[in-house]
Structure 1
Amino acid sequence: MGRPRLLLVLLLLLSLTLAAGAIIIKRFSQPQPETNIIRLMEGPHSVYHLPHYIALALGFFKEQGLEVVLENTANEQTLLPALAGERADVVLVGLEEAIYSRADGSMDDVMAFAALTRRDSHFLLARKAKDSFEWAGLKEKTVITGWPESIETVLLEGLLRQNNIAPYREVTLYTNIPASLRIGAFSAGSGDFIILAEPQASMVENAGVGRVVVSLGKEAGPLPATVYVARTDFIRKNPVALQRFTNAVYKAQLWLAHHSTREAARVVGPYLRDMNENLLLRAIERYRAQETWATNPVIDPERFNYLMDLLDQSREVARRIPPEQIINNQFAQKAVETVQYVPEKEKPRWFQRLKI
């Protein structure tokens, strides 16, 4: 092959290589289309997540053009690792879990973008309940509670301190009993008190083993207890999808405010098949009475700081996390400004909309 022809071939190969490279660069430099599928993960099904199931059951996510694929895990400790491993796009967790992951550096790119609940879910049950409850009655007693870092134990310790009772010194806290064994241990005679959420609290009452004497959520006051969390990279790439997701959550919160306990139970029943109707109604009513569910998805920075104070006092958190490092309220605030819900009974009928 002559030199001119060889040179021509080389120039042609070089041109093809440059063209292919330009196509690849262009493809990857262009913004990728946003997802319309959200992989949502939560722990075991819980009545505490009620508005979340309302949004799924009534098609509020589909109204927003989203397909939400819900996956449940056996325990909540696997949720943030699933987010880190990109096996989920959004997880529903206790805010304290997100704070712990930020504080210890195990996952420093998580952001909470919407609140589902505004009070904790746990209750203090007594084996031998008196007519009126006083915190001083816990002195020299024993309480079966969660792990030391669990939100129920953190709140219990904080409430004890607020009532001038020293945790672990003036009252014994059993924090090493696995969750699956706590009711059994209490039923067998261990502990004077036990901390439980619904429906377990009602189940223990129905069995005559104990009685609810105080709500930790009511005593501790409002705080952003359960939140939706995503990684900062996913939020940056999918702002429209997350806005639609938050809109649907807010619409479910509005729906709940306009409907009865029985209506809510009927809607979420398929998601809570392990609860009979009476147990479900009782649990929903107990949570509604103390305003457990958030009325909108905005995460209050002041109440975040209150939770941060409780975690600090418990010495379970490595360092304080400022709210701006872990809270992104842009989607929640826009949802509150734009989303409306009109109950069916208040919607005008077709002939009322006619202008005659």
Structure 2
Amino acid sequence: MIKKFKWILSILAVFILIVPLISCNKQEETYTLRVGEVTHSIFYAPQYVALSEGFFEEEGLDVKVQTTWGGDKTMTALLSDGVDIALVGAETSIYVYAQGASDPVVNFAQLTQTDGTFLVSREKIESFSWDQLKDTTFLGQRKGGMPQMVGEYVLKQHDINPQKDLNLIQNVDFANIANAFASGTGDYVQLFEPTASIFEKEGRGYIVASFGEESGSVPYTTYMSKQSFIKENKEAIEKFTRAIYKAQQWVDTHSAEEVAKSIQPQFEDTSLDIIETVVERYKAQQSYAKTPLLPEEAWKNLQDIMDEAGELPAEVNYSELVNTSFAEKVISE
């Protein structure tokens, strides 16, 4: 009887030792996710906060971000499995869907909710009005992308016909637009940050208006993935969305100075004061979404803007290309 009791104790002791090891291994399971961002910008501050503040790590994620420079290149990387998740304008998912994709690209988390570009003038203007753009050369963004469509939408709201009232240039690659303006092309240019503020600090251009303030709420940049990838990696997508939500809340509740210090390692060539200025500007116009939930009204506004620009191939139902289940779950926790 005593031998049997000792044998049972031995088994229990081994079990007690093994269980923590199993739990530990389960906790240490890490998902690797490759994210392709359409450009590298302070406009995406919550993503960099998620990296710097360890929110991805807390969720057991190893997130590798690469800049894919432009919507077309970003979608090519996603569709060819070069990346798992794309951070890009929501309009790209509509383009893919319209081409009859058997594995559509689905938006599952929103990062920014306004346009992130600014109108930069070559000359300093004390009192700017939109009609001053008439009969000038405007260096715009790539045709068919959200910056260009929002840009034209805003111009039309101010009774400016982009094709008739100004000399519109749209044949410059996304990555080269700033260099083209710096080299003397255009009287006005549509730029992202921090480039716009850097140009202003260096006296090479002057911010005169915000396209984000003018255009209203729109799913400007969202996280999306192929439908098949989402189905096969639900836990990883949920963890990713939760980390982004934590970062969004962190950005919302911390000062521009604190956000700037957190993301500065991502922008080593940009001074801290410029980063802080840009963050403050985006926070003031509520460009950073406070939750990853993409609202249906914003989806409608997106398609209205695309339609106005003549770039909407077909109207797509909200439920067709937007999956809100992950965002709703992490928000409700």
Partner of residue 155, structure 2: 160
Moved more, 196-205 or 313-322: 313-322
Contact 1:103–1:320 (CA<8 Å) still a contact in 2?
Answer: no
2:141 aligned to which of 146, 156, 164: 146
| 1:239 Cα deviation after fit | 1.7
| 1:55 Cα deviation after fit | 0.8
Partner of residue 41, structure 2: 46
Counterpart CA distance in 2 for 1:246 and 1:185 is 37
Change (3 A) 1:230 1:159: same
1:190-201, aligned counterparts within 5 Å?
190-201=185-196
Contact 1:122–1:152 (CA<8 Å) still a contact in 2?
Answer: yes
1:221-300, aligned counterparts within 5 Å?
221-300=216-295
Partner of residue 6, structure 1: none
Letter aligned with residue 299 of structure 1: L
1:96-107, aligned counterparts within 5 Å?
96-105=91-100
Q: Structure 2 length normalisation: TM-score?
A: 0.85
Counterpart CA distance in 1 for 2:102 and 2:115 is 24
Contact 1:35–1:241 (CA<8 Å) still a contact in 2?
Answer: no
Letter aligned with residue 223 of structure 2: Y
| 1:330 Cα deviation after fit | 0.7
Instruction: Decide which structure has the larger Cα Rg and report it.
Output: 1
Aligned to 2:43, the other structure's residue is in SS state helix
Counterpart CA distance in 2 for 1:187 and 1:67 is 38
Contact 2:114–2:219 (CA<8 Å) still a contact in 1?
Answer: yes
Contact 1:101–1:107 (CA<8 Å) still a contact in 2?
Answer: no
Aligned to 1:191, the other structure's residue is in SS state coil
* Structure 2 segments unaligned to the other structure (5+ residues): 1-28
1:327 aligned to which of 319, 322, 328: 322
Counterpart CA distance in 1 for 2:281 and 2:115 is 12
| 1:287 Cα deviation after fit | 1.3
RMSD of the TM alignment (CA)?
2.0
Moved more, 97-106 or 298-307: 97-106
Counterpart CA distance in 1 for 2:269 and 2:91 is 27
Partner of residue 78, structure 1: 73
Counterpart CA distance in 2 for 1:205 and 1:46 is 17
Stretches of 4+ aligned residues off by more than 4 angstroms? none
Change (3 A) 1:211 1:68: same
Q: Structure 1 length normalisation: TM-score?
A: 0.80
Q: How many pairs are equivalent?
A: 305
* Structure 1 segments unaligned to the other structure (5+ residues): 1-33, 339-356
Contact 2:217–2:301 (CA<8 Å) still a contact in 1?
Answer: no
| 1:74 Cα deviation after fit | 4.5
